[in-house]
Amino acid sequence: MPEARPFIGILLMLGAGLCFAALDATSKHLSQTFPVPMLVWARYTVHLLLMVIFLAPSMRARLIATQRPFALTVRALMLVGTTGFAMAAFKIMPLAESTAFLFVTPMIVVLLASWLLKESVSSGRWIAIIAGFAGALLIARPGGALSTQGVILMSLAAGCYSIYQVQTRHMSSSESTVTMLFYTALVGTVSMSLATPLFWGGPMPDAWQALSIASLGIFGGTGHLLMTRAFRHAPASTLSPFLYAQLVWAMLLGWMFYDHLPDLLSVAGMAVIAGSSLSIALSERFRQAGKLEVK
């Protein structure tokens, strides 16, 4: 097991949040011109090419060595779904409010753990879950910045991301970070390449647009590498509060590049979602600490 270094883990998580926000802001701009599935394909293909160029010559077979190829494939498909649904939503909705919707993920994770793993859920957690979804409703209220179509797309993205996060945490102690990242890129590239006849088309990108499209793979691959490595240095309960830096990044980028700031009700909804998710993370930390004391 890697040495626990919480400060390093926190810095890595902050960097991951910035990469994800930059990916979202760039895809929002590009999706006004190019089909979203093409951008998803580019995001994973560039990611894969970079790994093949820089890592395959030295790692060779170790790059794909795993005893759980099916689990890694399912995990990768969940991230592909997250990327596609989120990009489609960012195309029609503001960055900050859309990003906030992804942060109902910890609440969905608790519900999935209760249903699939038969884990008990305390009354405090149920309150946090209800409050978190109430915060999402504040953002998605009639007359707000989010459309019905966008809310559905971001809800699907949050569902896929919940499964992805559960699998990432479960496998990070036994699987190589680089191998997990490579399978994500490989599965994303193959699955989207098989679907290319359904979406390929549109204008040819100029040099700047081509560079921007390539940056999707760089931002995405770097962000997930940083996030996966962060979990190796600190537990999820420690890192969870710093996941919300992505909301701050999203608001800043939305203001800088799209001249949009959330209204007060949307900010209140974001704060409720962040507070609810944080309370779930802290309760998990205290629960684990209690188990250690009993032992």
Alpha helices in the chain (DSSP H): 6-30, 36-54, 56-59, 69-92, 95-102, 105-116, 123-139, 148-171, 177-194, 196-199, 207-233, 236-243, 245-258, 264-294
C-alpha to C-alpha distance for 42 and 49, rounded to whole angstroms: 10
Under the banding of pLDDT at 50, 70 and 90, the label for residue 286 is low
Residue 89: is its pLDDT beyond 60? yes
Could you tell me which residues come within 8 angstroms of residue 129 by beta carbon, excluding any fewer than 6 positions away?
Answer: 107, 110, 111, 121, 276, 280
Instruction: Give the least confident one: 15-19, 31-35, 99-103, 197-201.
Output: 197-201
pTM of the full predicted structure? 0.82
Could you tell me which residues come within 8 angstroms of residue 158 by beta carbon, excluding any fewer than 6 positions away?
Answer: 101, 102, 104, 105, 108
Instruction: Give the least confident one: 125-129, 207-211, 218-222.
Output: 125-129
The torsion angle over the Cα atoms of residues 38, 44, 49 and 55, rounded to 10 degrees, is 180
HEC states along 109-161? HHHHHHHHCCCCCCHHHHHHHHHHHHHHHHHCCCCCCCCHHHHHHHHHHHHHH
> Who wins on pLDDT, 101 or 259?
259
